[in-house]
Structure 1
Amino acid sequence: MLVLARKKGESIMIGDQTEIVILSTDGDTVRIGIKAPKQVEVYRKEVYLQIQESNKVAAEHKISPMNISKLMNKS
């Protein structure tokens, strides 16, 4: 893990297109801004883990081709 110290208004670059900007600090809370290309998905870690778990659960449920066609026709 790379550990850096930054002050308000300072940035960290990740690659050529992703910039992390320190917006403010208040006690133990640090507000950051992330400038990244639109195709780069950016999530808080707890949200990312929930998405991964949901994807895992969905992949474990087997749906037969017959059920898929029924689901698609329910509009």
Structure 2
Amino acid sequence: MLVLGRKVGERILIGDDVVVTVVSVSKDGVRVGIEAPRDVRIHRAEIVDQVAEDNRAAASAPADGTDVRALLGLRRAS
């Protein structure tokens, strides 16, 4: 892993077409802006990890219809 120190407004170039700019720094974290071609997917790692975990849980859920009945109950309640 490459670790770089940057100040607000400074940029990091990744390859020929991705630019990461430090937008702001606060006590709570750092905000970055990313410029990349539309075909480059950019996702927050924790969201990708959570979706993968949810998919694993759904794939291993029992196929007894319990989840479907629970969803139908929510639909009727609204």
Question: Could you state the TM-score of these two structures normalised by the residue count of structure 2?
Answer: 0.64
How many residues are matched? 61
Alignment CA distance shift 1:54-1:34 (3 Å): same
Partner of residue 19, structure 1: 19
Counterpart mapping for 1:1-75 below 5 A? 1-53=1-53
Which consecutive unaligned segments of at least 5 residues does structure 2 have?
61-78
Could you list the runs of 5+ residues in structure 1 that have no partner in the other structure?
61-75
3-state SS of 1:52 partner = helix
Structure 1 runs, 4 residues or longer, greater than 4 Å off: 54-60
SS for the counterpart of 2:37 is coil
Report % sequence identity. Answer: 47
Tell me the alpha carbon deviations over residues 17-68 of structure 1, each in whole angstroms, 9 at most, x when there is no partner: 00100000011410000001100100011112234345656788xxxxxxxx
Q: Mean alpha-carbon deviation: is it higher for 45-54 or for 4-13?
A: 45-54
TM-score (norm. length: structure 1): 0.67
